[in-house]
Amino acid sequence: MKGLKELMTKTERIRAMINNQSTDRVGMSGWLHMPMVDRNIKDFIKATIDFSDNNNWDFVKLMSNGHYFADAYGAKIRWKNDPREWSGDFLEYPVKTPEDLASMSVLEPDENPVFQREIAIAKGVCDHYKGEVPVLSTIFTPLTWMQEMMASCNPAVAIQMMAEHPREVHKSLEALLETNKKLLDRMIEAGVDGIFLSTQWATKALITNEQIAEFCRPYDKELLRYIKDRTWFNIMHLHYCEELNFEEFLDYEGIQAFNWENCTKISDISRLTSIRKVRRLYPDKVIIGGIDQYNDFVNTGNNREAIKDVLRQRLQIALEECGDYRFIFAPGCALPLDVDRYVFTLMQEVVLEEGLVR
């Protein structure tokens, strides 16, 4: 199906969805970590383009190494040589104490080699697509970045800091917000169409509404205000899957789409958030999801037709819940690294069979 002639460009299709206009089909996209190349400008640009084109994705999420902010702030990381492992081993975090939080500096992207690398990657990918495929920069919310500075993917330390050292936490969040802004200035200059704004603080299991109001909302909303009218396709990604607090984002201006894990296998599926619920809450947003990235691409016999049937059912259920075609078929988080990438092309087959607008 490579080279398929379609009625709309990727940008036209997604703009139509955002503007609630007619489109030719639902969208599709996916992203995965590329740990063997994501810190090499030339190789990462090529790998990103090859992966996107081979799967006919409707937008490109720049899958920056998840540690890139901590790396920019001086973390000591032992990188792995395993293509199935994106995360490195932290030998030293840049923030260890409340005093470190309070003294965090605002980084200048033009003076930081990690940020210079990320900007060059964005420019290379954007220059290639020339506006025909939307390209999004991966940005974490300030509180999520703060967590990464102290204990990657582990919220416990950040939770303790919020409870015991709120003043220092706010100082850190102010610095991280300003660094995010400066980086986004350069990313927008490089040509990105929007951001994939990821938060690891949207589950009720980790944070209270009062803490969200104090430590998340002011900084998240200011970041979105800062890029208002400078980007046109911004995705809010809610990390984790259980007890997601979607109601907290009702007044987040500048978000055009939501992405989350709506169908992951857990013991109590009532703790998941359905596409139906999000469509009810957000009738004007594009919905991105429908796939269980952990389980949908594998089976005991590596039977492609069985995998395709699972994806077909996922798409049918998602469209029924969504109730319209303002939908992009995608995983709820990063695609798995331990399956052959060929399998992801089955998403394209299913969308072109089941996702055309009749």
pLDDT tens-digit series, residues 76-132: 999 999 999 999 999 999 999 999 999 999 999 999 999 999 999 999 999 999 999
The domains located in the chain, with CATH, are: 10-354 (3.20.20.210)
Nearest to 213 by CA among 171, 247, 258: 247
Strands (E), the chain: 27-28, 60-61, 76-78, 89-92, 135-140, 194-199, 235-238, 257-259, 286-291, 327-331
The count of residues in the chain is 358
Q: How confident is the model at residue 47 (pLDDT cuts 50, 70, 90)?
A: very high
Contact 184, 227 (CB under 8 A): yes
156-162 average pLDDT score = 97
CA angle 79/139/95 to nearest 5° reads: 55
Contact between residue 16 and residue 134 where contact means Cβ atoms under 8 Å apart = no
What pLDDT score was predicted for residue 188? 98
**Looking at residue 358, what is its pLDDT?**
78
Q: What is the pLDDT of residue 2?
A: 43
Please identify which residue in the block is written with the tokens 């798995």: 336
**DSSP code of residue 212:** I
Distances from the Cα of 113 to the Cα of 17, 106, 119, 120, angstroms: 37, 15, 10, 10
User: In angstroms, how far is CA 247 from the centroid of its own chain?
Assistant: 19
Distance CA 358, CA 356 (A): 6
Please say whether the beta carbons of 198 and 239 come within 8 A: yes
- Alpha-helical (H) ranges within 165-208 are 166-190
On average, the pLDDT of the chain sits at 96
> Exposed (0-12), middle (13-18) or buried (19+): which is 87, by Cβ within 10 Å?
middle
Q: What single DSSP character describes residue 316?
A: H
In whole angstroms, give the CA distance from residue 288 to residue 317. 13
Amino acid at residue number 65: N
- Looking at residues 297-318, what average pLDDT do you find? 96
DSSP class of 263:
S
> Percentage of the chain surpassing pLDDT 90?
97
User: What pLDDT is stored for residue 5 in this prediction?
Assistant: 66
Mean of pLDDT values over 251-260: 97
DSSP, collapsed to helix, strand or coil, labels residue 258 as strand
Give residues with Cβ within 8 angstroms of 286, minimum separation 6. Answer: 14, 17, 18, 27, 256, 257, 258, 326, 327, 328
pLDDT per residue as tens digits for the range 19-38: 999 999 999 999 999 999 99
Q: Which two tokens stand for residue 89?
A: 């081993």
- Give which of 285, 303, 297 is closest to 343, Cα–Cα: 297
pLDDT the model gives residue 216: 98
**Res 4 pLDDT > 80:** no
Average pLDDT for 139-168: 97
Q: Which of 355, 349, 340 is nearest to 83 (CA)?
A: 340
**Residue 1's pLDDT band (boundaries 50, 70, 90)?**
very low
Gap between the Cα atoms of 248 and 216, Å rounded: 10
Q: What is the mean pLDDT of residues 265-291?
A: 96
Please state, in angstroms and rounded to a whole number, the distance separating the CA atoms of residues 319 and 322: 5
- pLDDT score, position 3: 46
Write down the pLDDT at residue 15: 98
